[in-house]
A and B are shown apart, each in its own frame.
Chain A
Amino acid sequence: MTTQPQLNEHDLELLSAYLDGQLSADERRTIERRLGDEAELRQAYEELRATVQALRDLEPLRPPRSFTLDPSQVAAQRPPAARLGWGRLLQVAGVFAGVLIAAIGVLNVLGSMGAGAPSMAVQPTAAPASEPMLAAVPTEPPTVATEARESAQYQTETATPQRGDTAAAPSTHDNGAEPGAPQALATVVVSPEAIARPEVAPQPTIAPPAISSPGTVDLAQPTPFAEPATPASSPDVTLLIIVVVVAALAGGGVLLWRRVRG
């Protein structure tokens, strides 16, 4: 074994970068001058160059098989990029609608317990006030506008029995549009039927039109049922609605976040 010069790390790094043509003009001139003067450095350079040459000479290995993907196998795994926007938005809108309907159902019961059924009689003047607030919830301005118009149009009618259908609409549509959304489906299905329907039905007065219609309209469900116009007249009920809306937003946000991540 010969006694070999041990260059410091900085010089080695210079030589290594010099081999790859990665030095600045100044650095290159300096190192070339030193290579002429210093035998140790020159030897280190030659050895390094031989080492790199040996690496470059290594034959690449041939892959044992091809790694192309089988289209039929892959098709179900990932929806193409283009579907990200609307598919996801529809899911989330559906979930929003479900959560809101459920929340309003509960609210309705609470309200009726406090005020008594008779006081919940329809008060058309209050409806416009509560609508914009709820309509502002979804993230899609155009749909919201349409929806607001629709509910304004139909709000004169009271159609409690249809509410179950309306609520169920998002889930069926979701199912068709987005096969990969079992969670959203479950949420939407459960909330309206388990909570909204039984509890809301006896109380024809409360306000789902603005709430359920985002789901309905977003999902291109043109059924124009009319929802009862709704008046949440007392201030603490309004406050409660705000709280519920915020909670629903938070829930929807978390859901969206998990989906996007997953």
Chain B
Amino acid sequence: MANEELRLVAAAQRGDVESFNALVRLYEGRVYNLCYRLLGDADSAADAAQDAFLSAYRHLRAFRGGSFRAWVLRIATNVCYDALRARQRRPVVSLDATGETSAEEPSSFQIADTAETPDEFALRRELARAIEAGLAQLPVDQRLVVVLCDLQGLTYEEIAEVLGANLGTIKSRLSRGRARLRDLLRQEELLPLRFRHEGEA
């Protein structure tokens, strides 16, 4: 796997677009999801993901080994930060975007295969909605770390590579982001009841 990836990278560095496209297919899901979580709507996320891969191709020779996944995600992160800055300069509040988010949810959310009661399904769905909304409210630097760690499953070391930050910063942002989300879930009383009872006991 890693060898195959290195081979693709080397071929792409020699100008083989098809090899590069094989890498794109490997990582486009991750890149798109990261962009979506950072930018909040499908159109911006798709544009950013496309820009990120173009930029990666153009700067391929700057890749000097290590985790290609982290390298690509780093480029995508930078593209998103640029987009966010541009948005701040010229704020266009997209009401459609928020509508889009909730419209997309049902399609990506199905009843789990295990025997799940309707109540459990409803709770899970409610939890997902709340956590998505909560994520969108997090400061970007915390959100980024939470997404990379909990949604994308990167190790702390890889996240540090993506962000160019040290492990202490990663741990602290992750902890604060998670704590904030927990507070939101608490407010909506979405954390499992027994924990709350236990706390009251």
| A→B interface (CB under 8 Å) | 1-5, 9, 12-13, 15-17, 20, 22, 39-40, 42-43, 46-48, 50-52, 54-69, 71, 74-75, 77-82, 84
Interface of B is mostly: helix
Chain B hits for A63, CB < 8 A: 28-29, 32, 46, 49
Q: In the bound complex, how far is the Cα of B175 from the Cα of A13, in angstroms?
A: 5
- Given the known inter-chain contacts A57-B124, A77-B58, A80-B15, please indicate yes or no for A69 contacting B24, CB distance below 8 A: yes
**Interface digits, B54-94 against A, CB 8 Å rule (1 contact, 0 not)?**
10011011000000000000000000000000000000000
Chain A hits for B149, CB < 8 A: 20
Chain A hits for B156, CB < 8 A: 20, 22
Chain B hits for A67, CB < 8 A: 24, 28, 31-32, 46, 49-50, 53
Minimum CB–CB distance for B168 against chain A, Å: 9
Q: In the bound complex, how far is the Cα of B17 from the Cα of A48, in angstroms?
A: 44
How many residues from B make CB contacts under 8 Å with A?
A: 61
CB–CB A81/B15 < 8 A? yes
Minimum CB–CB distance for B69 against chain A, Å: 15
Minimum CB–CB distance for B8 against chain A, Å: 13
**Interface digits, B17-31 against A, CB 8 Å rule (1 contact, 0 not)?**
110110011001101
CB < 8 Å neighbour of A59 from B13, B50, B108? B108
Query: Is B132 positioned at the interface, with any CB of A under 8 Å from its CB?
Result: yes
Chain B hits for A2, CB < 8 A: 196, 199-200
Find the residue from A60, A67, A78 having the highest chain B CB count within 10 A.
A67
